Structure 1
Amino acid sequence: MIKVIDFHEQLDLKSFINSYCREASHIILKDKNTQVRDEAVNYTELDDHSFIVDYTNNGYYTNDSRYMGKAFITVNDWFNNITLQPNIIFRKEDLKWLISNVEWENIFDITLNALIYLDEIKIDPHVVFNFNHQNKPSAQCLKSFKGQNIDSESKFYINKLAMLSSINPVFDTKEINLPYNARTIDKVMLKTKFKLPKSAYQNLNKKAIQKQMQSINIYEKDKLQLKPYIVFLGFDFGYRGNSKYLFEYLTEQHSKYTVYFVTKDKKGDHFISPDHASINEVIEKASVVILESYLPDHIKPNGTIIQLWHGTPLKRLFLDSKEPKQNNDIYNYRARKYNKLIKQDYFITDVASINYVFESAFPMHETKIVSCGYPRNQYLLEYQTDSNEVDNIKQLLNLDKDKETILYTPTWRDNKENDFLLEFPEEIKSKYNIIYKYHEEDQSNKHKNDIDINQFETQQLILVSDIVISDYSSIIFDALTIDKKVYLYTPDFKDYDYHRGLYKHVYELINENQYFEKALLFKAIMDNQYNMINDKYINKNNDSYEAITQLIEDAMI
């Protein structure tokens, strides 16, 4: 249990904790200029540690911290952020020790002492705080570090913090060392031995923050620019998935709208290449912009943004995922993505029971979730009993009509290893048609189909299949929507979960036919062994076309 305490209302903090926080395991301290996002607090995964969490400043993500990809915080990691705030959830016993044993006047002081003195502080990547002002340490707190057993890099950072807070430096330059990941301002401070006026360093820091603000997708929508048309941006500008099916419905059933689809996959009056010279202007002036994934950095729509997303997730997303590679290697990764996500007006999900996952993974406080189903699954539901559609696809695929069909769709991995791929034995091949459908990113296909399946939508392949074999792909839920048998082949399950991260509470509801060894999988298929799967995350009452069209009509100028 987490208890939130308004810091300025509690003059005797220790007594208040002892009297009113008996059931709490963790405590958040806040003041009148700090918002605590209750929904984010609910999604933190805490244990017997204090935790550094993420935050925004005045509603926007302005940090450039890369430590969110790590398990534990270090003093160096915390200090090497362009903004510093008291972004900590205290383990109750840690907080009680701190307020009894260190010098402090405010929340920032207690946080700073926690970083210096606690043995281990973990990291949870959820955005819990929004700070409406810049917190600063007290002179009393900083001076208390003098004479303590503190490493030389931490001493440098304490001096830096003092100067930026209009406080005299605490340590002599002989006691300090430049951090290994020093910023420009750090090098200037050490070179000048902290002798310049405090205002000079503060101006340097201000310029660094201004530069940061220009590179992290902060903007306000300008409704005066809008024109009465709709623009679709498919996944990686591809003409497929939810975007394709909704686009075709709109252009066929609601021709009164001017609609454009940004893609290289198709040509015609409705299609615009992403390389077109005016593409940014076209998108940014659209009354409605419809997405299926993350919005590219260089595009800043002013109209209503409807996010279709690309499937019910099994793999952890954004704020739920450590994403160490992205956080470490991609400049301002979290800031650029977060500040675009908060501009979305509507987020479409396939079923309401999965909403809590998206609410945990993405900042949804400015976005309305609409659980009307996915357009690609409305297609499946409408055509699952259409024998003409099914027979036509089978004929085009050159499938043997006397055999059932297996669709094999492994998830793309970036480790270039093929050990996890299935090699079907002859006894399976003799009984079933096999369709291999790899992810668009996967260029290392071991198996080729007799027919080029790139001309077919994944939904068409599901429609003609009797069995779908996958691992961690959202295609599982699409197949279950029309009662296809779904088997999971996951020989790398533990390793994949450790490095990529899975929503286990979701996965455990659909893993009734999960196999780690291919021999057991093949035996189950040959013996027709199949367990029915829980339908909690399945929606067979899909009205996505109509519901999303209504959102569009409401948004058109």
Structure 2
Amino acid sequence: MPALFPSGKKKFLHNLCCNLARFFISSKPLVILEAYTPFHLEHFKHVIHLLSEMDEYNIVVITPNGKDLNELKNVQAYKTINEYPIYKKADAFISTDYNKIPHWFSCPTIYFGHGIGPKLDYVARDELLEFDFVFSPYRPAYELQIQNLPKERVIPVGLPILEDKSSRQQEIIEFYQFDGSKPLIIYAPSWCSDTTKISDIKTILAFLSTKKQFNIVVSPHPLLFDKNRCKGEDFFKNNNKIKLLHINTPESQFTTLDLVKASDIVISDISSILFEAMALKKNVLLDGNKDLYEHCNALKIYDEIIKFCPVPCWNNNEDLTIEHAIELDTLSKQRELFINNYLFNSGNASKIFIQQLSEILKHG
């Protein structure tokens, strides 16, 4: 058997079942979208809805929390790849992460870069070589990726999630019982595998807790809630200094992007959300974590954005950087020039995503 089927018994069985099933099921191309976390799924949702409306494809979504997607036309969700029926022949497989590609699939594979934070130590890892194509969202990532892959395999696409213009502002105000006349500040710290590079979150929270004239929501990266991934550090529980702040947990009904869309000021570090906020024309402040940019090989980008993303003095409760930014935003043009050069296909990424997918399917 190994000599006859060197790619494995499961691949042989998959191909056999698929060939038989094609006599009885839809002949539309079948596209598998894999998103292992709810956060990653959000980056696919706008594309999924557009593909569903087109009625030209069958779409399978592999994600732990995609039950509601089954209500869409031509869309079916499975919690894991192991639940995916072996008789269904995939025509393209697209993943948001460097997870191992199922070895029995015989179709084009695509890595979809799902964020635009400049973690340049991550965007061109060796695992990228396992994919046939890369959908790249922003210029610095693209420039690194084409050093390791043939240029024709790395496609500038952009970030489709930014095209969903829906707003949940009123829901957010009502949920948190906010005074709607106060500006809304969102602080979104990110996680790092080297925990010594995580921002000084507790000092920043203590500073923000003194700003009673604002509505403030802290929306951390989900891994910041996992003490095992933060060397036992508990940033948000049993901290009397943050009683006046609202913490948006991974179980919340609001994504960080929902909060950003409703915000007046966004504060972050190297997180994609900082750059997404710029793309949404939000007023943005840095938390000043230069070490994290250095760790991610992105010092050049830090040196550029520090010119138009001020950093409050977190140890000084009298600092008025936030107040001045609320009163008069004098840096919006500089942010706009930067993000327009940084992000691919702003406002048009979903269309480009689907066009490029169609081309890949056409040529097999």
Deviation at 1:438, TM superposition (A): 1.0
Deviation at 1:462, TM superposition (A): 1.3
Compared CA separation, residues 235 and 342, structure 1 to 2 (3 A): same
Q: 2:134 aligns to what?
A: 347
Q: 1:259 aligns to what?
A: 59
Compared CA separation, residues 428 and 486, structure 1 to 2 (3 A): farther
Q: 2:299 aligns to what?
A: 504
Q: 2:25 aligns to what?
A: none
Provide the rounded CA distance (Å) in 1 between the counterparts of 2:282 and 2:37.
28
Q: 1:306 aligns to what?
A: 110
Name the Cα RMSD after superposition: 3.6
TM-score (normalizing by structure 2) = 0.70
Provide the rounded CA distance (Å) in 2 between the counterparts of 1:510 and 1:419.
17
Matched, 1:420 2:200: yes
Deviation at 1:367, TM superposition (A): 5.1
Deviation at 1:554, TM superposition (A): 3.3
Matched, 1:546 2:351: yes
Larger Rg: 1
Provide the rounded CA distance (Å) in 2 between the counterparts of 1:266 and 1:319.
26
CA contact (8 A) 1:223 1:303 kept: no
Deviation at 1:525, TM superposition (A): 0.7
Q: 1:435 aligns to what?
A: 217
Provide the rounded CA distance (Å) in 1 between the counterparts of 2:199 and 2:99.
33
Provide the rounded CA distance (Å) in 2 between the counterparts of 1:516 and 1:403.
20
CA contact (8 A) 2:311 2:321 kept: no
Compared CA separation, residues 427 and 504, structure 1 to 2 (3 A): closer
CA contact (8 A) 1:344 1:366 kept: no
Compared CA separation, residues 308 and 556, structure 1 to 2 (3 A): same
Q: 1:173 aligns to what?
A: none
Deviation at 1:287, TM superposition (A): 0.6
1:330-373 C-alpha deviation (Å, 9 max, x unpaired): xxxxxxx73x523434322334565213334xx32275333232
Count of equivalent residues: 307
TM-score (normalizing by structure 1) = 0.48
Matched, 1:358 2:145: yes
CA contact (8 A) 2:95 2:112 kept: yes
Q: 1:272 aligns to what?
A: 78
Letter of the 1:349 partner, please give it: S
Letter of the 1:515 partner, please give it: V
Deviation at 1:439, TM superposition (A): 0.8
1:216-239 C-alpha deviation (Å, 9 max, x unpaired): xxx9xx999687311111154756
Provide the rounded CA distance (Å) in 1 between the counterparts of 2:46 and 2:107.
21
Q: 2:183 aligns to what?
A: 404
CA contact (8 A) 1:397 1:451 kept: no
Superposed, which structure 2 residues align to 1:17-32 within 5 Å? none
CA contact (8 A) 1:420 1:490 kept: no
Matched, 1:391 2:188: no
Superposed, which structure 2 residues align to 1:166-245 within 5 Å? 228-236=29-37, 240-245=41-46
CA contact (8 A) 2:145 2:154 kept: no
Compared CA separation, residues 232 and 466, structure 1 to 2 (3 A): same
Superposed, which structure 2 residues align to 1:134-173 within 5 Å? none
Compared CA separation, residues 300 and 520, structure 1 to 2 (3 A): farther
Letter of the 1:310 partner, please give it: H
Compared CA separation, residues 282 and 403, structure 1 to 2 (3 A): farther
Q: 1:489 aligns to what?
A: 287
Deviation at 1:415, TM superposition (A): 5.3
Provide the rounded CA distance (Å) in 1 between the counterparts of 2:277 and 2:138.
15
Q: 1:250 aligns to what?
A: 51
1:259-303 C-alpha deviation (Å, 9 max, x unpaired): 111111132532101164446x478x4111122121326556422
CA contact (8 A) 1:348 1:374 kept: no
Which has the higher mean CA deviation after the structures are superposed, 396-405 or 479-488? Answer: 396-405
1:407-442 C-alpha deviation (Å, 9 max, x unpaired): 111111345578710224477532211111111222
Q: 1:455 aligns to what?
A: 253
Q: 1:377 aligns to what?
A: 162
Deviation at 1:406, TM superposition (A): 0.9
Letter of the 2:150 partner, please give it: H
Superposed, which structure 2 residues align to 1:117-128 within 5 Å? none
Provide the rounded CA distance (Å) in 2 between the counterparts of 1:290 and 1:307.
6
Provide the rounded CA distance (Å) in 2 between the counterparts of 1:520 and 1:243.
41
Q: 1:464 aligns to what?
A: 262
Compared CA separation, residues 302 and 244, structure 1 to 2 (3 A): same
Letter of the 1:508 partner, please give it: D
Compared CA separation, residues 437 and 539, structure 1 to 2 (3 A): same
Higher RCO, Cα 8 Å, sep 6+:
2
Superposed, which structure 2 residues align to 1:287-306 within 5 Å? 287-296=91-100, 299=103, 301-306=105-110
Deviation at 1:482, TM superposition (A): 1.5
Provide the rounded CA distance (Å) in 1 between the counterparts of 2:299 and 2:247.
36
CA contact (8 A) 2:310 2:321 kept: no
Deviation at 1:527, TM superposition (A): 2.8
Structure 1 unaligned regions, length at least 5? 1-213, 321-336
Provide the rounded CA distance (Å) in 1 between the counterparts of 2:247 and 2:42.
24
Query: Which of 277, 286, 291 is the matching residue for 1:479?
Result: 277
CA contact (8 A) 1:428 1:526 kept: no
Does the residue aligned with 1:342 lie in a helix, a strand or coil?
helix
Superposed, which structure 2 residues align to 1:4-83 within 5 Å? none
Q: 2:229 aligns to what?
A: none
Does the residue aligned with 1:289 lie in a helix, a strand or coil?
strand
Does the residue aligned with 2:211 lie in a helix, a strand or coil?
helix
Compared CA separation, residues 551 and 282, structure 1 to 2 (3 A): farther
Percent of aligned pairs sharing the same letter: 18
Q: 1:518 aligns to what?
A: 314
Deviation at 1:540, TM superposition (A): 6.8
